[in-house]
Amino acid sequence: MGDRLESIRREAHVSLERSLYGGVREPDDYSQPLGDAGLFGPDSVTWQVHSDLPSMLIGGVGALLIQTLHPLAMAGVTDHSNFREDPKHRLAMTARFIAVTTYGGTPLAERAIRGVRKVHERVVGSAPDGRPYSANDPKLLTWVHTAEAASFLRGYQRYSGAPLSDRDCDRYLAEMSVIAARLGAAQVPQSVAEVRAYYRAMQPELDAGQQARETVEFLMHDPSAEPADQIARSVLIRASIGILPGWAKRKLGLAHSTLAHRAVVTPAAKLISSLIRWIEGPSPLRRLALERSSQSPERTAEPSNLPHVVADASLH
């Protein structure tokens, strides 16, 4: 019975990875350099939050929804991204960046950051209202990063089953600001209170324009999604809407019944999240990062018996 259950879990794992990421894989070595804790380390809140795939998926979609409200950010995505033609590839690349900057050794993380900055150099243009944009604009980077980090935190608090203390919520945002600063962002919020103040200050610049509405519609009804995945996908997307701040829901026209959400969506999303955790098992990247960081640098001459790990198809 145990072997049969494990076989079912492995088959479900392959199916889940294919459904989410389309088999896009970029190999990365998480075993080196020995003794290197990376940008965060085992005691960080970031390692804890990013190891929970279901809440990261919910938070990630929530981040995309909020990010659409900035016309310049939305223009850059519309003009330079192929997310509509190949959403799974885009998701896999984003997942890989989060994985390597969270659990990779410092050289691997820094290389990933340099790669994103180089890509950003080409993301320039003009929004529909004529305003110029650049993906390396420090203020625009702050918007994208803040929406992402705050949404990951909201997803974790609602759906991980192990919500953080207020102190650790602030620690997570402060830790994540390291990535934003290395990407070139400026004045990044580093606490829950600072995120709230930042969102209030940004309100005059935000608008659900045509590009935003079209993107939200695509996210809600992705034609590339497999029919068998539609129910789970629909639940997780509605869970993502549920973690949005009230002002974001109103601007996006995504208001919903709070009672219905609590009675139906939240329990269903928690059930699906538990199933995903069973399918995925413990985070292999977190384990590899822990083994790497706990070994002495003097042992670098010894051959490593750690497996070569793919870091694109999970948010572990």
Find out whether 118 and 97 touch, Cβ atoms under 8 Å. Answer: no
Q: What is the pLDDT of residue 18?
A: 72
Burial class (CB in 10 A: 0-12, 13-18, 19+), 38: buried
Nearest of 289, 302, 296 to residue 29 by alpha carbon: 289
Q: Chain-centre distance of CA 270, in angstroms?
A: 18
Tell me: the pLDDT tens digits for 140-177?
999 999 999 999 999 999 999 999 999 999 999 999 99
Residue 310: CA count within 13 A, CB half-sphere: 11
Q: What is the pLDDT of residue 315?
A: 30
Within 8 A by CB and 6+ apart from 47, the residues are 40, 41, 102, 103, 286, 289
Q: What is the pLDDT of residue 32?
A: 92
Q: In 78-159, which ranges are E strands?
A: 124-126, 132-134
Beta-carbon count within 10 A of 253 CB: 9
Tell me: the pLDDT tens digits for 28-56?
899 999 999 999 999 999 999 999 999 99
Element (H, E) at 309: strand 309-310
* pLDDT < 70: residue spans in the chain: 1, 19, 21-26, 222-228, 256-257, 298-316
